[in-house]
Structure 1
Amino acid sequence: MKLNVFFTCLLILPAHYAIADPLSAVDWLSDSLQQPQQVAPADDPLDGISTETIETTILSDVVKDTVGLLPAQVSGIPTDFWGDSAVKRLAAFIRYAPHGQVPEITNLWRRIILAELNAPVASSADNLLLLARIDNLLLAGDLNPAESLLKAADPNDQQLFRRWFDISILTQRSDEACARMIATPRFAPTLPARIFCLARSGDWSAAAITLSAARILGDVTKDEALLLGMFLDPEAFPEVSDIPSPIVMTPLTFIMREALGLPRPSQTLPLAFLHLDLQNKAGWKRRIIAAERLVREQALPTTSLLDIYLEGKPSASGGVWQRVSAVQRLKNALERDNQAALSAALINAHKTFEHERLRPVLAQWFGASLPNFTYDTAAQKIAFDLAALAQANPEKLKKIAPSTQTSQYILSLLDTETDVVPVGDLQLSIFNGLHGKTDKTVLHQLVDDRRVGEAVLSALTLLQSGADTDVGDIETALSVLAYAGFKDEALRIAVQILILGDKT
């Protein structure tokens, strides 16, 4: 059932988003010592298309929201993308951007977040848009580009520095951040952070004196003092085998507990914490689990996961070992080029990876080469789907395209010489959205009003459920993306929705 677009827009940003955490959506960030400033006050509603009040700002303050890693010719995002949209609204969209199951949606979000763009209306020294972009990357566990953004912006205030500090310790690259913190004490996100950095710099006596003073003055909790004391001198606490985990574990607490070999909390760790598990000393299984979670969010190159899968022979069965075995079996079958063995290996790998929402990863590894082989009937559709997900050339796709209506329709979207009539609500919605047959909506009007970025973010948010998105929202979102100049991206999203949503 197609939703009324006006009410759909009202659902894009729930009302509680208007009262964001004052500093960040990332609740594990190191606490700042300064009082937080409100990012999006309750009287600035973000739950629909709104008429923004005119705000003024000093031109010299508009600096860091423009920082990016990808120039326009690389990102494909025009520099005037934000246009006349208000910075608070854009920041809320980005900070709470859902990470869906459709790779092209995540890819477009990431390009926008990393793009070098002109600052939006009312950008100021608060750097709201930059902070939102960095927080989005932190939530996804994509630490390297987040760190690069921070360095490009120069993390010379507390809000930027606290993020850089947390990233630096999670990636085991804390020397530079610690040196800057010691040189500029006001940057210290917390007193424990300063004590940690003093120790890292080799000034153990200063670290111990600072901890002793903090304990006397009550500036650290009992558990914080114990953890820091153990970190500075583990041999002084031989009887302590564990310290209660805090409700919200900061990167610093996590790193010190790991260094001391203390038990991990029972709850699932934030994605950003998993980078520690990518190190060889973490063990093969733990590295696989961490890499899989990060790859799902495109926070780690898929080749990194493949390299880990191929490190050795699985010593057990089931779980992660089933996926390791499936990948190795498929790789060997491709090298032998035996139709029966390849078909069986492809079916097995597809089933195993589909269960873990890793089909797009399988496609990136092997999809481009699949049109070069022949398959049994049951495996042919899988080969076609994975090759299409990998954006294989339409001429190559024709070689392995099954005669099923869905596969032929996908081929028709990619090949102008193939004409297949859409069947069903989903295919019709995709056809209408891609071919300009959708009535103009308030989101299209945003494009006309020089609020292209806001329109695109709204469209991507409509698609937050991926292949399970309402067909009316799919049509609207694809139409808006195409209208805003992102027709190729809309096409890739449509193809991926058709494939990932097909349960046959």
Structure 2
Amino acid sequence: MRTRDRSIPKRVRLAAFLVCLPVAGLAQQAPLSVIDWLANPAPETLPGTVLLEPPVTESGLTPQIEVTPLEALPVPLGLVSTKVTGLPLDLWQGSDPVLLAERLMRVPVRDNPAMQTLLYTLLLSETRPPYASRQAAETVLLARVDRLMQLGAVDPAQALIQLAGPTASQERFRRWFDATLLTGDEDSSCAALAASPHLATDYGALIFCTARRGDWTSAALTLETAHALELLPQATLALLDRFLSPEIFEDLPPPAAPARPDPLTFRLFEAIGEPLNTAGLPRAFANADLRDLAGWKAQLEAAERLTRIGALTPNQLLGLYTQRSPAASGGIWDRVEAVQRFETALQSGSADAVAKTLPHAWAAMRQARLEVPFAQLFADALPALDAPQAAALAWRIRLLSPGYEEAALTPAGTGADVAFLAALARGVPRTVTPPTPQAGAIADGFDSDTALPPEMEAMLNGGHLGEAILEAMDRFGSGATGNHDDLGVALALFRRVGLEDTARRAALQLMLLTRS
């Protein structure tokens, strides 16, 4: 069982989003020492020869020189080294930047943690943008940041844009400003805006940041200008009025909550004492509830939501689950109690206590679609259980953990499904009879003779590795909903490009997790 982290830091540890791959060492010859160099004989000098060639010039004048500028390679950008991710720097080369950005934004990963991990790896790995233009590089960068924000991974999104240079353009700054508003780091972005006011896309950010710096007079003057020239929507102007002059509105009803607030509107509502519920807002807003300002229930709900999509580590979720005793019953409180009782049983060392509490904890986590995080936390600590049902459940939990291959060596129970799961975890599902059509499609994906469609072969042959992986992820999403041909092709491509662990985990999760 992993050590829990009871605090939710402002910066999520970025390495927790990735599957660490072995580092491939490059064989290098050590340089010669001075003694070695002196000991080596100098090369034999060859006698001069007369070149029986015509003269290369007929005069002593300086020849005319033609100069052709060489285009510099784009600078690699990413938070995690290629030595960790195993992906090449030229992952995106040759791909159309606009189509690539669209693929990055739409590839489905919601119901499969293995696909989530792969997408985070693609988004955070150090890579070069396509060799097209500066605008092409910007298109891909902004798509990476936007998808991270969409997933709720605000800390990595903020770090990526900071690494790229958040003040290089208004589009970069807008994304950086939004991220800092949700993580509580707006002082840094406001300081940058004070130094370069032209970065603001509207007067709202200028007014907010001016007030944050303590210059309320200048903020009020800017707001008056915005009113006079109608530079902002009326709802935003009214909200800024309340923000700068709260005493005037003390006896008035609160403003209506907007359906789709931006991060600045969200923070302004919080500042006037009317915080918005993040449950119905995009995932990125859930990060605001991880701060100490939020109550425990809000923190728990936000942590579950972010862990479900892989944007928060399981260990941080466990830290919140075990922070204190449940305050009530029903819903999330039942999950908290079930996990706490199971952890207590695990720490007691009693196999009987574990067998008794495991089914309840598993049912609670299954209801929240948090089975894989639960497996990552507790699978290694599960003892050998005598009760057949508990032992079978514990084995399936181990198959959802990083130790799936070791678990496959000691299957619990008999039957075609058990045999197939064990074979799949070892990477040889074709050695047994598939129990279902879905299992048959998975087995086809592990057949070395499975051919890829011509368009996927063309991507690989053209060096479009990243685009080919995204295509396989799209097909896996289609295969998960019943298109068995797409499922087999997706797994075959993952294995073809060296993503064997991803292929096995994704297939095991597809078979073991019930999703509607």
TM-score in terms of structure 1 length: 0.83
Q: What does 1:258-277 correspond to in 2, within 5 Å?
A: 258-262=270-274, 264=276, 268-277=280-289
Verify: 1:72 aligned to 2:82, yes or no: yes
Are the equivalent residues in 1 in contact too, given 2:408–2:423 (CA < 8 A)? no
Deviates more, 1:124-133 or 1:102-111: 124-133
Q: What does 1:398-417 correspond to in 2, within 5 Å?
A: 398-399=409-410, 401-415=412-426
For 1:359 and 1:465, the matched residues in 2 are separated by 22
* 1:417 CA displacement: 9.1
Verify: 1:81 aligned to 2:81, yes or no: no
Are the equivalent residues in 2 in contact too, given 1:63–1:125 (CA < 8 A)? no
For 1:291 and 1:261, the matched residues in 2 are separated by 23
Are the equivalent residues in 1 in contact too, given 2:479–2:487 (CA < 8 A)? no
Deviates more, 1:431-440 or 1:169-178: 431-440
The one-letter code sitting in structure 1 at the alignment partner of 2:426 is D
Alignment match, 1:191: 203
Match of 2:433 among 409, 413, 421: 421
Question: Could you say what secondary structure the match of 2:90 adopts?
Answer: coil
Deviates more, 1:345-354 or 1:333-342: 333-342
* 1:222 CA displacement: 2.7
Which whole-Å deviations, capped at 9, do the CAs of 1:403-432 have from their partners, x for residues lacking one? 232222222223379953333322221121
1:416 to 1:77, Cα distance in 2 relative to 1, 3 A:
closer
* 1:467 CA displacement: 4.3
Alignment match, 2:510: 497
Q: What does 1:4-19 correspond to in 2, within 5 Å?
A: none
Match of 1:308 among 320, 331, 336: 320
For 1:296 and 1:469, the matched residues in 2 are separated by 23
For 1:469 and 1:80, the matched residues in 2 are separated by 33
Which whole-Å deviations, capped at 9, do the CAs of 1:21-75 have from their partners, x for residues lacking one? xxxxxxxxxxxxxxxxxxxxxxxxxxxxxxxxxxxx9946x747x4111221111
Q: What does 1:29-428 correspond to in 2, within 5 Å?
A: 59=71, 63=74, 66-125=76-135, 127-155=138-166, 156-262=168-274, 264=276, 268-370=280-382, 372-392=383-403, 394-399=405-410, 401-415=412-426, 419-428=431-440
Alignment match, 1:5: none
Give the count of matched residue pairs: 444
Q: Percent same amino acid among aligned pairs?
A: 34
Which whole-Å deviations, capped at 9, do the CAs of 1:75-107 have from their partners, x for residues lacking one? 111122223221111111002222321111110
Q: Structure 1: which 5+ residue stretches go unaligned?
A: 1-56
For 1:394 and 1:199, the matched residues in 2 are separated by 57
Which whole-Å deviations, capped at 9, do the CAs of 1:316-370 have from their partners, x for residues lacking one? 2110001001101111111223333312211111111112211111111111222
1:134 to 1:71, Cα distance in 2 relative to 1, 3 A:
same
Deviates more, 1:290-299 or 1:244-253: 244-253
Deviates more, 1:349-358 or 1:140-149: 349-358
Which whole-Å deviations, capped at 9, do the CAs of 1:179-200 have from their partners, x for residues lacking one? 1111111101220110000001
Alignment match, 2:17: none
For 2:451 and 2:458, the matched residues in 1 are separated by 11
Match of 2:449 among 406, 413, 437: 437
Q: Structure 2: which 5+ residue stretches go unaligned?
A: 1-68
For 1:267 and 1:286, the matched residues in 2 are separated by 9
* 1:211 CA displacement: 0.4
TM-score in terms of structure 2 length: 0.81
Are the equivalent residues in 2 in contact too, given 1:245–1:265 (CA < 8 A)? no
Alignment match, 1:43: none
Are the equivalent residues in 1 in contact too, given 2:478–2:487 (CA < 8 A)? no
For 2:94 and 2:311, the matched residues in 1 are separated by 31
Are the equivalent residues in 2 in contact too, given 1:380–1:400 (CA < 8 A)? no
Please say which structure displays the higher CA radius of gyration: 2
The one-letter code sitting in structure 2 at the alignment partner of 1:88 is V
